[in-house]
Structure 1
Amino acid sequence: MAHIDYYLGTVSPWCYFGHDRFEQIAARHEASVTYKPIDLFQLFDRTGGVRPQARHPNRLAYRSQELARWADYLELPLNAPPNPFPNTAPSSYAIIAAQASRTGDTGRLVGAVLRAHFVDGRDIADDATLRAILQETGFDPGLVDSGLFVGAETYGRNLDQAIEAGVFGGPFYIVRETDQRFWGQDRLEFLERHLAAL
């Protein structure tokens, strides 16, 4: 059975677009998944990328068109969040704590956080919002508080591990057994072909 390290950012629309399809692919191939939320902005800083807010207007205009095209193609709702770049640490800590608790479906939680941000416009940096999302997905809402320490520690370590593993953007999927790396939701077909060949 393959194991996939899934590096993600909770405010990445590309993670939102790819998440459900990735979950289906992993399930079809009985692959286990470790969810590794990271600070994508710090990742960009450390690997030669440019934060969206600092990109040239031409790139931002193209990005807007691409987001609309992909949303239409995938038939997924996409609403501009009131705050497009909230602090990602709280939502990442919640995901990390939930995964460590081994009490529910972490993939379902990740999807709920992404939808809360990109569909419902909820504030995923707000503790009350995160408690509600945890409860909605079958986790103890108290993880927002009890998982703070392990979340913070792991969040920083995830970023270091990402850079060591060759990650430079998100979503980024790495098959541990083969060190095959797939960047972007538009590479999920290649990930599935690889899993099928194992």
Structure 2
Amino acid sequence: MSENIQIQSQAPLRELPEPTLRRLPWYLAYVGLLKERGVDYVSSTQISKEINVDASMIAKDLSFLNIKGKTRIGYEVAVLEHELQDFLGFKRGHNAVMIGVGSLGASLIQDSGLVNYGLRIVAGFDINPDVVDTDICGVPIYDMNRFAQLIPSLKADIGIIAVPIHVAQEVCDIMVDAGIKALWNFTPFRITAPEDIVITNTSIYAHLAVMYNRLGLKNSLES
């Protein structure tokens, strides 16, 4: 699933072009497979064949991280994996809270794979009395009214939004006021926040619209 990323604050490490940031996890996933297979070196040409990205683009992307391959040998797989993980922050832990514990929110809490990418959902918040004061996979679910009170002890700087559209902006405002620094928005509503807040929009529905449109065009051409 692709995402629409708005970097609204200056990157603390190095600001890369957004397309490059989107491709780096592809490279990391592939070199991770190579490491598991015991492969020591890989060229940009080999990576290109596997993930369908031009070899020159791969080399350019990696150059942003000061990663350079060896002539006629390529990149050392273990080093490349380490450098990508370090730059992307996947090995550094980030605490997050889930706002909205419906089907999508609950699924994200249960997704243990997020931890492998450095994201720990430490609590959920909702207004539904059926889920408040319960837990999902050991993650406690609290009443939204307690958000500002609990955030300091949870030490979370990321808020994940999976609420109905009509309350998305209100939830955004509450989180920002409580000290949340980054928002991962799963609603189709385009939330707004102060310039020092990082917003990442992941609209499942927008991608469905693109897929349906392309599928419809393909079917019309074939009919």
- Give TM class, smaller chain: under 0.3
| Greater share of residues in strand | 2
TM-score of the pair, normalised by structure 1: 0.26
The answer to which structure, 1 or 2, has the higher relative contact order (CA under 8 A, 6+ apart) is 1
| Greater share of residues in helix | 1
- Larger Rg: 1 or 2? 2
